[in-house]
A and B are shown apart, each in its own frame.
Chain A
Amino acid sequence: MNRDRRLANGLLLIYGAISVLALTRPLSAPVMAVRTCVSYLFNPIPYFGTHAIDRLAAVPSGFAHLISADIENHRLREGLKQLPLMEAEMKSLKLENERLRATLGFSPLPEKNLRWARVIEREPVYWHRTLLVDSGREQGIKINAPVLGISRGRLGLVGRVTELGPRWAKVLLMTDDLSSVAAYLPGQGWEGLVEGRGGPYLRMNYLPIDAKLETGQAVFTSVTSASFPQDIPVGRVTRLFQQDPFLTFQSVQVAPEIEASSLKEVLILEPKRRADENIRPSEPPS
Chain B
Amino acid sequence: MKIAYGAAVFLSGIFLEWICSTHLALLGLAPQVLLILTVSVALLSGPAIGQSFAFGWGLYLDLMSPHLFGANALTLTLIGYWVGVVRRQMDASSPASQAMLAGLVSVLYFILLALIGLAFRGKFFWPGWRFFFLEPFLNALAAPFGFLFVRALMP
A130 and B28 alpha carbons, distance in the complex (Å): 12
A8–B61 CB distance below 8 A: no
Q: In the complex, which residue of chain B has the Cβ closest to the Cβ of A53?
A: B23
Kindly state whether residue A42 has any CB partner on chain B within 8 Å.
Answer: yes
Q: Is the interface of B mostly helix, strand, loop or mixed?
A: helix
**Central interface residue in A12, A53, A177, by most chain B CB within 10 Å:** A12
- Choose among A7, A26, A42, A125 the residue that contacts B60 (Cβ–Cβ < 8 A): A42
A170 and B64 alpha carbons, distance in the complex (Å): 8
* Given A124-B30, A125-B127, A178-B22 contact (CB < 8 Å): no
Bitwise, B111-155 to A at CB < 8 A (1) or not (0) is 001001000100100111001000100000000000000000000
- Choose among A8, A35, A129 the residue that contacts B81 (Cβ–Cβ < 8 A): A8
A5 and B85 alpha carbons, distance in the complex (Å): 8
Report, as a range, how many residues of chain A touch the other chain.
35 or more
A12–B77 CB distance below 8 A: yes
User: Could you count the A-B residue pairs with CB atoms below 8 Å apart for me: how many are there?
Assistant: 137
A 120-165 contacts with B by CB, 8 A: 120-127, 129-130, 132, 162
Kindly state whether residue A18 has any CB partner on chain B within 8 Å.
Answer: yes
B64–A127 CB distance below 8 A: no
Bitwise, A13-49 to B at CB < 8 A (1) or not (0) is 0011011111110100001001100110011011001
Chain A residues at the B interface, C-beta cutoff of 8 Å: 4-5, 7-8, 11-12, 15-16, 18-24, 26, 31, 34-35, 38-39, 42-43, 45-46, 49, 53, 119-127, 129-130, 132, 162, 170, 172, 176-178, 198-199, 261
Chain B residues at the A interface, C-beta cutoff of 8 Å: 11, 14-15, 18-19, 21-23, 25, 28-30, 32, 46-48, 51-52, 55, 58-71, 73-74, 77-78, 81, 84-85, 113, 116, 120, 123, 126-128, 131, 135
Closest 5 CB pairs of A and B: A22-B70, A19-B74, A8-B47, A127-B28, A19-B70
Pick 24 A–B contacts, CB within 8 A, sort by A. A5-B47, A8-B48, A8-B85, A12-B81, A26-B70, A35-B69, A38-B59, A38-B63, A42-B59, A42-B60, A45-B15, A53-B23, A121-B64, A122-B22, A122-B25, A122-B64, A123-B61, A124-B21, A124-B135, A125-B32, A125-B113, A125-B131, A162-B66, A170-B66
